[in-house]
Amino acid sequence: MRLGIFGGTFNPIHVGHLRAAEEVREALGLDRVVFVPSAIPPHKELADGVDAGLRLAMVRGSIAGNDAFEVSSFEVDRPGPSYSVHTIEHYRGVTGSTPYFVLGQDAFNEIATWHMAPRLFRLAHFAVMTRPGAPRHPLEKILPQGAPPFVERDARHVNEHGNEIVYVEVTRYEVSSSMIRSLVRGGKSIRYLVTDAVRDIINAERIYQ
């Protein structure tokens, strides 16, 4: 099982998330990408305090029809902050394989501040989503102290555990969750920035308004 784990607040999930996940899946030959909405993100305040169940529903509606995508309530069902290390440990146990942890370059640049950061590089491969023109820092300036060292092989970086860091350039979309929330507050259309399922939930539940 070649599994990708794509975490985030998804507040809300938008077409940029979906297209990036599809491009990573295709580039790495992943069998499945699991979207894992966080319940209580440890690194930032959750804008608008949107209930985790609604964010879960928006992801579920967005990925309907794509057999390679699924959504997990693992972090939503756990008490306390959502730590990626626990999610990765869970999926290693479920699948018996090493998952690819999918995240953007900006988040990867801050990985040293994450909970049990060195352990992450012993548990998972990393698929780092980059965009044209986005700055990419040298790996030695990003890795947390105590992480296993990596060596470069064929444009991939591999450590002693056989885990790799792969950079995947994805299509740049000038869309963000904060932009969508702002449009909703201003009474503007968000059509074609999110799926119809997300738009219907936002309108029905009057979130971000």
Run of H or E residues at 159: strand 156-159
Q: What percent of the chain has pLDDT over 70?
A: 96
Report the alpha-carbon distance of residue 182 to residue 192 in Å, rounded: 15
Mean pLDDT (whole number) for 107-120: 95
Q: Within a 10 A sphere around the Cβ of 152, how many other Cβ atoms?
A: 10
Mean pLDDT (whole number) for 4-25: 97
DSSP 194: B
pTM for this model (two decimals): 0.93
Q: What is the topology classification, in CATH, of domain 3-173?
A: Rossmann fold (3.40.50)
- For tokens 């699924």, the residue is 70
Inform me whether the pLDDT recorded for 136 exceeds 90. no
Sign (positive/negative) of CA torsion 70, 3, 75, 206? negative
Inform me whether the pLDDT recorded for 48 exceeds 90. no
Chain mean pLDDT for the chain? 93
pLDDT single digits (tens) 66-108: 999 999 999 999 888 889 999 999 999 999 999 999 999 999 9
Report the alpha-carbon distance of residue 137 to residue 107 in Å, rounded: 12
What residue spans define the domains of the chain?
3-173
DSSP 11-34: TT--HHHHHHHHHHHHHHT-SEEE
Q: What pLDDT shows up at residue 15?
A: 97
pLDDT single digits (tens) 153-202: 887 899 999 999 999 999 989 999 999 999 999 999 999 999 999 999 99
Q: What pLDDT shows up at residue 132?
A: 72
Q: What pLDDT shows up at residue 123?
A: 97
CB 72 within 8 A of CB 110: no
pLDDT band at 45 (very low <50, low <70, confident <90, very high): low
Show the tokens assigned to 120: 């992450």
Inform me whether the pLDDT recorded for 37 exceeds 80. yes
Mean pLDDT (whole number) for 4-8: 96
- For tokens 């990408």, the residue is 33
Show the tokens assigned to 117: 């950061």
Report the alpha-carbon distance of residue 83 to residue 145 in Å, rounded: 19
Give the CA angle between residues 97, 8, 34 to the nearest 5°.
35
Inform me whether the pLDDT recorded for 203 exceeds 90. yes
Report the alpha-carbon distance of residue 126 to residue 27 in Å, rounded: 13
Q: Within a 10 A sphere around the Cβ of 140, how many other Cβ atoms?
A: 8
Q: What pLDDT shows up at residue 81?
A: 84
